Structure 1
Amino acid sequence: MNRALIVIDVQKEYFTGKLPVTYPHGTLNNILNCMNAARRRGIPIILVQHTNPYKNAATFVKGSDGWEILPEVLNKNHDYLVEKNFPGSFTGTDLESWLQNNNINTVTISGYMTQMCCDTTARQGYHRGFKVEFLSDSTGTLNVSNYAGTVTDEELHRSILVTHAMRFSNVLTTNDWIKRLGE
C-alpha cells in the first residue's frame, strides 16, 4: 500500500478567524502527530490550502492572516502544497496527477472541515479509485446554523464519519492509523 497523508486547510481562519473549529478537541495535536508518524515512515505529506476566489470574500482571502497555514504545520517537512478554490482538493488542481506520478493508491484524510473539504476530498478520492482513510480525530468541524436548520458540531462530525464508514472510507482514529503504520 502506497499512501499519502493529505492535510487539508489547517489555516488560521479555523483557529483565530471567523470559523473556529470546536469539535473534536485536540485535532491539531493529532494532525501534527500524524505528520510526524508519516515523516518517520517515509509517507508523503501533502498540504492543501484553500483560497477563496470570489471578490469581496469574507474568509480565506489570499494573503490575509486567515488564509495562512498554521506555522506549526507549514514548517514541518512536507512533499507538496496544493492550492484549491473549491471544497474538493482534486477540483481544479493537479493533486490526482501528483498522486499517480508518485504511485500512491491510498489517501489519508486529515484537516478541516469534516463535512466540507475533508468529506468532498475523500469522496473525490474514492470516485477516482483511491483507497481512502478518514481520520476521525484528526478532522474537525463547528456548529452550523443556516436556513435549512441547525446542527451541532458533534452531530455533524459523527454523521459524516458514519456516512464514510458505509462506503467511501476506512474511518480510523489517529492512534489506530499510526499503529497500522507499524509505529
Structure 2
Amino acid sequence: MPYVIDRIDPSRTAMIVLDMQYDFVDEGASMQVKQASAMVGRLSDTLDFCRTAGIKVIYTAHVHRSDGSDMGLYDDLIPQIAERAALVDGSSGAEIFPALAPAEGEHVIKKHRYSAFFATDLDLILREWGIDTVVISGTTTECCCHATARDAMFHNYRVAFLADVTGTVDYLEVGQGALSADDIHRTTLAILARTTAHVMTAADFRALVAGEPSA
C-alpha cells in the first residue's frame, strides 16, 4: 500500500526547502534546473501558507569551499563543481534565490552532500523544535530531495513530498540512455510513494493542514 499521512499538525511540522539557489534557479545559470525555475511562484505561495499556518520553514544550500576541503567525489561527478564555477560557498550563485528568500529568523543549513541530514545539524534542530513530520520541496527531485526524504524516513520523521514544488533536469547519455526531466521526476515520485513518503501536491498539503481527509 502507498504510504499515507492522514493529518498534519503545523506545530510538529517543518518545511524543508532544498537548494533553491541562484546557481540552480536563475535563468542561464550553469547548473540551472528549469523545472525548479518554473515552480518558484508556486513554492513561494506554499511558503507563505506555511508561515501563516505556523509551520516552520528551514532552507538548505548545497555549497563547497573554494579550496575543495569538503569536496569528496564531486570533483569527479560534476564538472561545474570541479571547476569551482558553481556552488562555491560565499559566492552570489550559492545564495538562496531572492523570490524565495528566508524570512527573518529562518535558518539556512549549509550541506556538502545530497542529503540535508548528512554531516549537518538539521536533525538536531528539528528535534529541538519537536518536529515529527517534514515536507520536502526544492531541487533536484532524484538527488537532494530524494536523499533528504530517505534520510528523514530513516530518522523516523513522517515525510510529505510535494510533487509540484520539486523538480529536476534532463539526463544526457552516459552509457545507460538519456532520460527527460519529466521521466526522472515521475519515476522518482513513484519510487518514493511506494517506499518512503506520502507524495502529494501543494494543494493536497494545504488540505491536510486544514484538517481535510487525505485523498
TM-score normalized by the length of structure 1:
0.93
For the 8 Å contact 2:139–2:166, the answer to whether it is kept is yes
Task: Tell me what 2:158 maps to.
Answer: 131
For the 8 Å contact 1:109–1:118, the answer to whether it is kept is yes
User: By how many angstroms is 1:142 displaced?
Assistant: 1.0
* C-alpha RMSD over aligned residues: 1.8
Q: How does 1:95-134 map to 2 (within 5 A)?
A: 95-134=122-161
Q: CA deviation at 1:146?
A: 4.4
For 1:35, the equivalent position in structure 2 comes to 47
- Most deviating of 106-115 and 139-148: 139-148
Larger Rg: 2
Matched, 1:23 2:23: no
Residues 1-183 of structure 1 aligned to structure 2 (within 5 Å)? 1=9, 2-16=12-26, 17-23=29-35, 26-53=38-65, 55=68, 56-77=83-104, 79-148=106-175, 149-182=177-210
Q: CA deviation at 1:27?
A: 1.5
Please state how far the C-alpha of 1:25 moved relative to its aligned partner. Answer: 7.3
Given that 2:25 and 2:34 are in contact with CA atoms closer than 8 Å, whether structure 1 keeps it comes out as: no
Identity between Structure 1 and Structure 2 (%)? 28
- One-letter amino acid of the counterpart of residue 112, structure 1: T
- Whether contact under 8 Å (1:4, 1:46) holds in the other structure is yes
What secondary structure does 2:108 align onto?
strand
Q: Tell me the TM-score normalised to structure 2 length.
A: 0.79
> Which runs of no fewer than 5 residues in structure 1 stay unpaired?
none
- For 1:11-37, what per-residue CA distance to the aligned partner results, in whole angstroms no more than 9, with x for missing partners? 011123112222377411121111111
Name segments (4+ residues, structure 1) moved above 6 Å: none
Q: Does the 8 Å contact 2:19/2:96 carry over to 1? A: yes
Residue range with higher mean Cα deviation, 132-141 or 60-69: 60-69
Instruction: Extract unaligned runs of 5+ from structure 2.
Output: 1-8, 69-82
Change in CA separation of 1:85 and 1:79 when aligned onto 2, cut-off 3 Å = same
Do the aligned residues in 2 keep the contact of 1:49 with 1:81 (CA within 8 Å)? yes
Matched to 1:95, the amino acid is L
Q: Which amino acid aligns with 2:127?
A: Q
Note the alpha carbon deviations across 1:95-123, whole angstroms, 9 max, x for none. 00111111100000000111110000000
Cα distance in 2 between the residues matched to 1:97 and 1:155: 35
Q: Please say which of residues 73-82 and 164-173 is displaced more in the overlay.
A: 73-82
